[in-house]
A and B are shown apart, each in its own frame.
Chain A
């Protein structure tokens, strides 16, 4: 038992040593020449403008999420429209119409949810807790 433990410890020591050795070897062998141009941000050859760590309004995040609802609708409805006449001639008009209608229903449920939650408002109203709230009112932000 003690021998096995010692073996484990030995292997751990060798492993740690090997990692250090390899890192040291790389340090010795590799070229090291950081220039100002080389360390500049990679933007596919363009000169970077400004700094990357700027504040971005996180309300755009919700808007882009809601956009997906309409995006998927357009992407799937337009091709259906193109073949709709053909589908009618094949006697499948009602089937196609029902499918698209159900699809729209599901997606509009998502829209209704977002609407009811108030996420379509640019300035979202936060439910008031008690009477003396520290949350800003709509009027406060506009004034």
Chain B
């Protein structure tokens, strides 16, 4: 069940359980980490640009992992990049989400046969949403981010595993 949101001409109100209200706040301030591994990052920049303005949905890019909620694997991931991406993911504060953007980050894509390319971000990070495309259009990326919003809205925020037992964080 989601929170009840009523809006009128002179403002509105939201009614719900604490969980739902917290989720409402979280899903509308979904800040993504400005980090791109390859050419999909160009589309990632476009997503934040004026034409497909992701800001209107509360998605603002952050240049520090400390402030980011989502890390977007934008582009081909090479083996040399894996340790860096893992460190960046570790440096993000909970709750954190991973979005795999484009064929390369999903499966290795065009460079699947290369000795230097990892065949998918899911091999080393817990990916929440996969966005197909080579590259995906900004609209597709926004849809992926909205799927994460949907996931957030269903989460029992106060009962999450990492709330009770911090050791469980990596097994989400």
Binding site for B on A (CB under 8 A): 29, 31-33, 35, 37-38, 40, 42, 44-47
- Whether A42 pairs with B84 at a CB distance below 8 angstroms is no
CA distance A32 to B64 in the complex (A): 18
- Whether A29 pairs with B22 at a CB distance below 8 angstroms is yes
Which partner residue on chain B sits nearest A29 by CB separation? B22
Q: Which residues of A contact B160 (CB under 8 A)?
A: 31
Known: A45-B84, A47-B87. 20 other contacts (CB 8 A): A29-B22, A31-B93, A31-B94, A31-B162, A31-B163, A33-B162, A33-B166, A33-B169, A35-B90, A37-B87, A37-B90, A37-B91, A38-B91, A38-B93, A42-B65, A44-B88, A45-B83, A45-B87, A45-B88, A46-B84
Q: Which residues of A contact B64 (CB under 8 A)?
A: 42
Min CB gap A94→B, angstroms: 46
B-side interface mostly: helix
A-side interface mostly: loop
CA distance A52 to B2 in the complex (A): 47
- Whether B91 pairs with A33 at a CB distance below 8 angstroms is no
Which partner residue on chain B sits nearest A33 by CB separation? B166
Binding site for A on B (CB under 8 A): 22, 64-66, 83-85, 87-88, 90-95, 158, 160, 162-163, 166, 169
- Whether B90 pairs with A38 at a CB distance below 8 angstroms is yes
Which partner residue on chain B sits nearest A32 by CB separation? B166
CA distance A37 to B169 in the complex (A): 13
Q: Which residues of A contact B91 (CB under 8 A)?
A: 37-38, 40, 42
Could you give 22 example pairs across A and B, Cβ below 8 Å? A29-B22, A29-B158, A31-B93, A31-B95, A31-B163, A31-B166, A32-B166, A33-B162, A37-B90, A38-B90, A38-B91, A38-B93, A40-B87, A42-B64, A42-B66, A42-B91, A44-B84, A44-B88, A45-B85, A45-B87, A46-B84, A47-B87
CA distance A40 to B95 in the complex (A): 18
CA distance A44 to B84 in the complex (A): 8
Q: Which residues of A contact B158 (CB under 8 A)?
A: 29
Min CB gap A79→B, angstroms: 29
CA distance A46 to B65 in the complex (A): 13
